[in-house]
Amino acid sequence: MPIKSLAKGNSSPGPEKHGEIRADFKAEIDEFAQRVEKKSFDEEKVREFAAKVMTRLIMHVGREDQKIGEFILAGGKSDEN
């Protein structure tokens, strides 16, 4: 069973919060894409943004993987239910 399927279930921990985090991240990416299209950026800003994206993805995936692992080890039960 794919990890994403486990995380999407109604009994998985924090699906609403996860959606909010994803929406905020997507908005930030969209804003940057618009700036790129308008050419209002420089190489330093692009590198800064790329580092920020990579850090956020690594931290987010690590945190979510930990929660999913704890959820599975608890037999599909969460304190957040």
pLDDT in tens, 36-48: 778 777 788 888 8
Note whether residue 44 is domain-resident: yes
CA distance 57 to 50: 11
Look at the chain and report how many structural domains it folds into: 1
Cα separations (Å) of 22 from 42, 63, 64, 71?
26, 13, 12, 20
Write down the pLDDT at residue 25.
84
Mean pLDDT along residues 4-29: 69
Residue at 59 is within a domain: yes
Q: Whole domain around residue 64: which residue ranges?
A: 14-73
